[in-house]
Amino acid sequence: MISEQMRRMPRSSTRPELAIRRALHRSGLRFRVNFRGLPGRPDVAFTKARLAVFVDGCFWHMCPAHVRLPKNNRAWWVAKLEANVARDQEKDRRLAELGWLSVHVWEHEDPVSASERIAVLWSELRRVPRLERPI
């Protein structure tokens, strides 16, 4: 039953993700969507700036402000969600090794302010030559 529900959940182009992408596009930034060439397949990737953006759901990635664990089968859910967080940290580490910066945006964040934060990072990364970037 749970696996059926999880299978039906969208993996990409969720409502928060689309809102962030619209805000980024309105600000004049162009990007790749669900870029397969990188660890974790970022929701939004700025290839020239080497900036990977992930739009994380509060439940699935254990947002500190909104984490609420289910009461039924609690041990299983805790293990599942902690594994998600560990996988996020591992993909961020792997991206850093490749010279990419990872940015995580929570689904509850305002898309406009999140896109402004991303635009500032994009601008800063475009100014710094690749050889000088910390890895």
**Residue 66: CATH number of its domain:** 3.40.960.10
For the chain, the domain total comes to: 1
Q: Please indicate, yes or no, if residue 132 is contained in any of the structural domains.
A: no
Q: Please indicate, yes or no, if residue 17 is contained in any of the structural domains.
A: yes
Q: Please indicate, yes or no, if residue 10 is contained in any of the structural domains.
A: yes
Burial of 17 from C-beta contacts in 10 A (0-12 / 13-18 / 19+):
buried
Predicted local confidence at residue 127, as pLDDT: 82
Mean pLDDT, residues 57-62: 91
How many CB atoms are located within 10 Å of the residue 6 CB? Answer: 10
Domain range enclosing 38: 2-107+120-126
DSSP 17: H
pLDDT digits (tens, 9 = 90+) for 1-15: 556 655 555 566 788
Mean pLDDT, residues 107-132: 88
Q: Please indicate, yes or no, if residue 44 is contained in any of the structural domains.
A: yes
Q: Please indicate, yes or no, if residue 115 is contained in any of the structural domains.
A: no
pLDDT digits (tens, 9 = 90+) for 22-44: 999 999 999 999 999 899 999 99
Find which of 3-17, 55-69, 118-132 is predicted with most confidence, using mean pLDDT. Answer: 55-69
